[in-house]
Amino acid sequence: MRLAFQKIPPTLLRFLRHSYAPEYCREKLLGDVDLVHSTNLSVPRFRSAKKRLVVTIHDLSFVVCPEFHLAGNIVHCLQGVQDAIPHADVIITISQHTRNDLIERMGAAADRVVVTPLAAPPGRRRIEDADILSRMQHTYQLPPAFMLFVGALEPCKNISRLVQAYARLPSALRREVHFVIAGGSGWLNEEVRTLVTALGLNDCVHFIGYVSEQDLPALYSMATIFAYPSLYEGFGLPMLEAMQCGAPVLTANVSALPEVAGDVAVCVSPTNTEEIAAGLRSLLEDSALRTALRARGYQRADSFSWERCAQ
C-alpha cells in the first residue's frame, strides 16, 4: 500500500467546513485523495463513496465542563463534533471514556466510534546521569526535592485544589518537598498564583513555565512524585510520561484517568481537597509505596505503545 500525505490549506478547510456549496464541489476541491483525517475538529462536511472522512475527537470537556472553556472555543469544538457525527465514516477517540461520552451525550453511532489509546514517547525514559540532572536543576532553579505538576495552567487541571491540598501538608513536609508547576499559561488561571500568595506558599511553590520536550524526561526523573488530579481528561498522557520516567503518580478517579492509570497510581476524588492532601502525604511519607508504584509504573507505561495505536 502506498501512503501519501498532504495538508489542507487553512482557507480551504474553513470553506469546506462552513460552506453549504453542493457536495460535489466540496469533494472536488479536496483533490485526488482517498481519505481525509481531521485531527483538530475542523471537520469538512461531506459524505462520499469516493472519499472517506475520519475524525479524531480527543475529549468532550467543552460539553462536560463548559465552565472551564472560553466561549469561542466551545463554539468551535461543539460545531466540529456536530459536523463529525453525521459526516464521518469513522470517529477515533483516545479513550473508552471519551467514546462513551460521545455515544451517550452526543448520540454518535457506536459502530462508527473506535478507540486508539495513546502512548508516551519512546525516548522519554528515566534520566540517571548526574551531570544532566545537575544542569536541569540549575537551569530551572529547582529545589532538592519536589512534587511535580506538568500541564497548561487552566481550570480543568484542578491546580487550585492541588495548591490547597499542598498547603494542608505538615509545614515540615512542605519545607522538605517543594511543589513545582511546569506548563504554559493556558486560560482562566489568574486564581492559581493569587492563591499561592494568599496561602503563604511563595517560598515553596515554584512556577517554572513551559519546559522544552528535551528537558521533560529529566524533570520527571527528578520529581519525588507526580501529581495530576485533573477534573477531566480525555486521556492523561503526562501520567504515562511520568511513569515511564519513574515518577510515582497521584491522579483523579474521574474521566479517563483511572483507565490510563490502572492500579499503579494513588487515585483520589479531585473535588475533595482533604482526600488529595491525604494522598499526597501518603506518597511523600511512604518510600516503600513510592518504590512499588515506580516499578509498576514502568510496566504500565510499557503496556501502551504507538505501534499498537497505529495498528
Banded model confidence at residue 25, pLDDT cuts 50, 70, 90: low
Residue 89 lies in a domain: yes
Q: Does 3 map to a domain?
A: no
Q: Is it the case that residue 70 has pLDDT exceeding 90?
A: no
pLDDT of 8 strictly over 60? yes
Structural domains of the chain, count: 2
DSSP codes, 224-259: SEEEE--S--SS-HHHHHHHHTT--EEEESSTTHHH
Q: Which residue has the higher pLDDT, 168 or 20?
A: 168
Per residue in 221-243, pLDDT (tens digit) is 999 999 999 999 999 999 999 99
Q: Please tell me whether residues 135 and 252 are part of one structural domain.
A: yes
pLDDT surpassing 60 at residue 2: no
Closest by CA position to 254, among listed 274, 228, 279, 280: 228
Rounded CA-CA distance 129/306 in Å is 27
pLDDT given for residue 189 in this prediction: 66
User: In the structure grid, which three cell numbers stand for residue 194, read together?
Assistant: 493569587
Higher pLDDT, 100 or 155: 100
Angle among Cα 256, 259, 263 to the nearest 5 degrees reads 135
DSSP state for residue 21 in the 8-state scheme? S
Region 65-75: mean pLDDT is 87
For residue 268, tell me if it sits in a domain: yes
pLDDT of residue 22: 63
Q: Mean pLDDT, to the nearest integer, of 128-139?
A: 95
Give the mean pLDDT of 188-196. 82
What is the per-residue pLDDT for 21? 58
The mean per-residue pLDDT over the stretch 88-117 comes to: 96
Query: How high is the pLDDT of residue 18?
Result: 61
55 and 152 in a common domain: no
Q: Which of 115, 139, 159 is the endpoint of a domain? A: 115
User: In sequence order, what DSSP letters do the residues of 203-226 get, joined into one string?
Assistant: TTEEEEE---TTTHHHHHHH-SEE
Q: Comparing C-alpha atoms, which of 234, 254, 280 is closest to residue 118?
A: 234
Element (H, E) at 35: strand 35-38
Model confidence pLDDT, tens digit, residues 239-272:
999 999 999 999 999 999 999 999 999 999 999 9
How much is the mean pLDDT over the chain?
90
Q: What is the pLDDT of residue 44?
A: 79
pLDDT band at 45 (very low <50, low <70, confident <90, very high): confident
Average pLDDT on 123-129 reads: 91
For residue 282, what pLDDT band results from cuts at 50, 70 and 90? very high
Q: 151 and 110, same structural domain? A: no
- Helices 23-30 and 10-18 cross at an angle (nearest 10°) of 160
Reported confidence tier of residue 294, pLDDT bands at 50, 70, 90:
very high
In a domain, residue 214? The reply is yes
User: Which of 54, 85, 115 is the last residue in one of the domains?
Assistant: 115
166 and 297 fall within a common domain? yes
Pair (221, 178) in one structural domain: yes
Can you list the alpha helix ranges (DSSP code H) found in 107-215? 130-140, 159-167, 171-176, 190-198
Look at residue 46 in the predicted model and tell me its pLDDT. 73
Asked whether residue 227 is domain-assigned, the answer is: yes
pLDDT, tens only, 107-124: 999 999 999 999 998 888
Confidence (pLDDT) at 229: 97
253 assigned to some structural domain: yes
| Same-domain pairing of 145 and 253 | yes
Q: 48: domain range?
A: 10-115
Q: Which position has the higher pLDDT, 19 or 133?
A: 133
